[in-house]
Structure 1
Amino acid sequence: MKRSIIDKLRLWKENKSRKPLVMTGLRQCGKTYTLKQFGADFFEDTAYFNFEENPSLCSIFDQDFNIERILDELGNIFRQKEIICGKTLVIFDEIQSCPKAITSLKYFCENKRELHVIAAGSLLGVALKNKDISFPVGKVDRLQMFPMSFKEFLWAEGFESLCNGTEKYADENPLSALYTSTFEKELRYYFAVGGMPEAVLSWSKNHNISEVVQIQNTILQDYESDFSKHAPITDVAKIGWIWDSIPAQLAKDNKKFIFSHVKARKRSADLEDALMWLVGAGLVYKLNLVTNPQSPISAYADNSYFKVYFADTGLLRAKAKIAPELLLESNESSLGNSGVGTFKGAFVENYCLSELIKNDIEPYFWTSGNTAELDFLFEYSGEIYPVEAKAESNTRAKSYNLFCTRYKSKKGFRISMKNIGVNMIENTKSISLPLYLLWLIKKYL
């Protein structure tokens, strides 16, 4: 299946100043498949090494970090085929299973930069926080992979031409029914199926939601098995408690994550490391509060006041045990009558957050005491943009209007099921953008 990250990989390949690339991302989001496809499409040869499947590979890195010796043993001895700079893509998969291979990336950068090397791993984000691993700071490029975006889901469903058509549309013209009817239906499918490649592939082939549910439940079970296999033994139970509590916390009107709701008599000091393990594994996103939206916005973030969302909307649905038929069978153009009740807000917020992150946007949320709350805001090229997300086509939002008026934003976004449109809130240009076109948000910045 087509993945947009291939374009970033191609740019990395063509960059003459490139360093070895470290790719992180949650398990089963498609890293291995995509890297092998990248190698097949852009290189004469791909040298693939998996340290989890072949633990003996680690012995090659035990002796020293002589890159010529390492390449000779990897190529001529292990795979019996020479590794050639400029022609061979070297993939070190599940590299977190070999800490010395991680350290060796420094020497690949210093002594063999002309060779294309990519290191990847499902729990690499967690491993890199391990103080016992000597990470080559400044000697690697970084790239994170995510579950499939809604745009990639549309590609898998055979609607790439429709996606291309929207990109040619004039920025402020409403979409015609040719687009809206398809996108509204497919967005419902995406809420139920999500973006895990195995689930998307099954859905695109058979449109059998029972098969998708089985795949999602297996993925959730695999993740929970990872807790006991890879997390510190003191955190395994805590990680499970947090993981299980997220849907219930998102179902609240106030979605602030509260540690005492995870387990009775447990405080943030008891559970914070476990939460950060989930963040490092790429399984959840942490959305921090900003009360003083100034540039640089990251300097004003309150890391102690936050919300927690799943990395994939389909897995959120499966974990919350919401029947997918409630999303698939409704003919409404909003989630308002879909039967998911108050959880519709959680679906929409989780979707919007993940789409923003996949667009290389780092979002926050804003509150003004107990009187107003804005779903998202982000900074781009020195400007701060407010974003209000709605499950329906009604875009009236007091908090959004208050923010635009108080902080005199030049531009803001109301994300809903309403078609493209523009209006003014005092001096703020407010853009109505459909949920199904959120992947185009940078076009409007």
Structure 2
Amino acid sequence: MLFDSIPGELAKNSFRYQVSTVLKGQRADDILESIAELVDSRTVLVSYHTNEPNPMMSMTKDIRRFKLFTADTGLFVTLAFKDRDFTENVLYKKLLSDKLPANLGYLYENAVAQTLASAGNQLFYYTFPNDKRKTSYEIDFLLSRQGKLIPLEVKSSGYKTHSSLDAFGKRYSRYVGQKYLIYTKDLAKDGEVICLPVYMAQFL
């Protein structure tokens, strides 16, 4: 259940994997051993929330607050659209032919997670309050490079909006290095943000 629910949990755009909605009556504390077994299977990637962003994020990660990704995005797609037998799965065929009318942000997020992990990066993310609204900002991934934090925001479209990156840069200016928006268009620059095509995430 934990494994099969990975796409659904990401599609909710929530700020963590909500264990209680997958396993009734269970909390993150109850499944830490199960998460470790999934990671050991090499089929699952865990991105931990860092409670205080700094270049040493391993010291501030919250092991009870995390997101789960599959280690293989092809497997993720199969999980996400296994509503029918594989050969009859219309949704899967539409996805492959780029005709699926859906917000695929969670799919691109998984692809970037796989790419970063394959390059040897530990996965971290961060959320913080938006003072102007009753929501929160989210930095999808945080990397540490030469004593600086490299924040990444993943988009499933060509839009260059990056309010989370801007707010994060102001809040943690002493730590922040280059900011990246990973999206589906060509390489570009928008102010202080480099807009990077998804396929170039491997070079980060």
Letter aligned with residue 387 of structure 1: L
**Residue from 168, 171, 175 that aligns with 1:403:** 168
Q: How many pairs were matched up?
A: 189
Letter aligned with residue 325 of structure 1: K
Give the whole-Å Cα distance in 2 for the aligned partners of 1:366 and 1:285: 16
- Decide whether aligned partners of structure 1 residues 316 and 255 sit closer, same or farther in structure 2, where only a CA change above 3 A counts: farther
Matching residue of 1:234: none
Unaligned runs of 5+ in 2: 83-90, 130-134
Matching residue of 1:111: none
Residues 292-334 of structure 1, C-alpha deviations (whole Å, 9 max, x = no match): 211212212111111111111110111122632222223xxxx
Letter aligned with residue 394 of structure 1: Y
Residues 44-96 of structure 1, C-alpha deviations (whole Å, 9 max, x = no match): xxxxxxxxxxxxxxxxxxxxxxxxxxxxxxxxxxxxxxxxxxxxxxxxxxxxx
Matching residue of 2:97: 329
Give the whole-Å Cα distance in 1 for the aligned partners of 2:185 and 2:26: 43
Deviation at 1:255, TM superposition (A): 4.8
Matching residue of 2:44: 284
Matched, 1:368 2:128: yes
**Residue from 37, 45, 63 that aligns with 1:303:** 63
Give the whole-Å Cα distance in 1 for the aligned partners of 2:120 and 2:32: 26
Deviation at 1:413, TM superposition (A): 0.7
Question: How big is the alpha-carbon RMSD for the aligned residues of Structure 1 and Structure 2?
Answer: 1.7
**Residue from 179, 194, 197 that aligns with 1:412:** 179
Do the aligned partners of 2:139 and 2:164 also contact (CA within 8 Å) in 1? yes
Q: Which runs of 4+ in 1 moved over 4 A?
A: none
Deviation at 1:271, TM superposition (A): 2.3
SS of the residue aligned with 2:3?
Answer: helix
SS of the residue aligned with 2:4?
Answer: helix
SS of the residue aligned with 1:346?
Answer: helix
Do the aligned partners of 2:187 and 2:194 also contact (CA within 8 Å) in 1? yes
Give the whole-Å Cα distance in 2 for the aligned partners of 1:274 and 1:431: 38
**Residue from 191, 195, 199 that aligns with 1:432:** 195
% identity of equivalent residues: 26
Unaligned runs of 5+ in 1: 1-240, 331-336
SS of the residue aligned with 1:249?
Answer: helix
Matched, 1:380 2:140: no
TM-score normalised by structure 2 residue count: 0.85
Give the whole-Å Cα distance in 1 for the aligned partners of 2:4 and 2:136: 30
**Residue from 20, 29, 36 that aligns with 1:260:** 20
Give the whole-Å Cα distance in 2 for the aligned partners of 1:423 and 1:259: 37
Give the whole-Å Cα distance in 2 for the aligned partners of 1:271 and 1:306: 12
